[in-house]
């Protein structure tokens, strides 16, 4: 897939107490750009922690922005079957699948089985826990896109 004129969309929250969502998304964006892609649209969601996932995404007009993108990247500190229910990551992946928008994930810790990843229709899941590793994950992702 080529980047074309449609933008990539990054959406997610913080990675532990030291990396706020904006920092996480900026690190991934640097890697994507180093990999030759244009700057992605960024949705830092940590300031909305505790809000209902559906309501939050609806309030941000997320669906329209996602459908205008060539792919969405779900960014979550941890992906596991136990933590997915009602999470922002699950809601974004579900909306992407239902809209036919390819979804990828970058996480510090991937505990999903291959079956769970397939149910979410995630094209790839990359692991990265530090700012440097997040940039490297962005470069790897750019090669996949």
CB 31 within 8 A of CB 132: no
- The CATH number of whichever domain residue 29 belongs to comes to 3.40.50.10350
Answer whether residue 123 shows pLDDT above 50.
yes
Mean pLDDT for all residues in the chain: 87
Asked if residue 1 is part of any domain, the answer here is no
Asked if residue 124 is part of any domain, the answer here is yes
Asked if residue 122 is part of any domain, the answer here is yes
Asked if residue 133 is part of any domain, the answer here is yes
**Residue ranges making up the domain that contains 18:** 8-144
How buried is 43 (Cβ within 10 angstroms: 0-12 exposed, 13-18 middle, 19+ buried)? buried
Asked if residue 3 is part of any domain, the answer here is no
Answer whether residue 3 shows pLDDT above 50.
no
Please give the tally of structural domains in the chain: 1
> In the 3-class helix/strand/coil scheme, how is the chain assigned residue by residue?
CCCCCCCEEEEECCECCCECHHHHHHHHHHHHHHCCCCCCEEEECHHHCCCCHHHHHHHCCHHHHHHCCCEEEEEEEEECHHHHCCCHHHHHHHHHHHHCCCEEEEEEEECCCHHHHHHHCEEEEEECCCHHHHHHHHHHHHHHC
Asked if residue 119 is part of any domain, the answer here is yes
- Tell me, what's the pLDDT at 49? 54
Asked if residue 70 is part of any domain, the answer here is yes
Average pLDDT over residues 53-81: 88
pLDDT in tens, 18-66: 888 899 999 999 999 999 999 999 988 865 555 577 788 888 888 999 9
- Tell me, what's the pLDDT at 57? 85
């Amino acid at each position: 897939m080529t980047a074309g004129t449609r933008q990539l969309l990054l959406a997610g929250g913080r990675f532990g107490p030291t990396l706020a969502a904006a920092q996480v998304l900026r690190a991934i964006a640097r890697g994507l750009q180093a990999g030759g892609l244009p700057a992605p649209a960024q949705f830092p969601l940590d300031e909305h922690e505790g809000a209902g996932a559906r309501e939050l995404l609806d309030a941000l007009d997320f669906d329209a922005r996602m459908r205008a993108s060539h792919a969405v990247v779900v960014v979550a500190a941890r992906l596991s079957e136990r933590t997915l229910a009602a999470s922002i990551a699950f809601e974004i992946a579900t909306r992407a699948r239902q809209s036919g928008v390819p979804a990828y994930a970058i996480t510090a810790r991937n505990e999903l089985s291959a079956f769970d990843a397939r149910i979410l229709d995630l094209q790839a899941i990359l692991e990265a826990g530090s700012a440097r590793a997040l940039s490297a994950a962005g470069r790897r992702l750019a090669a996949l896109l």
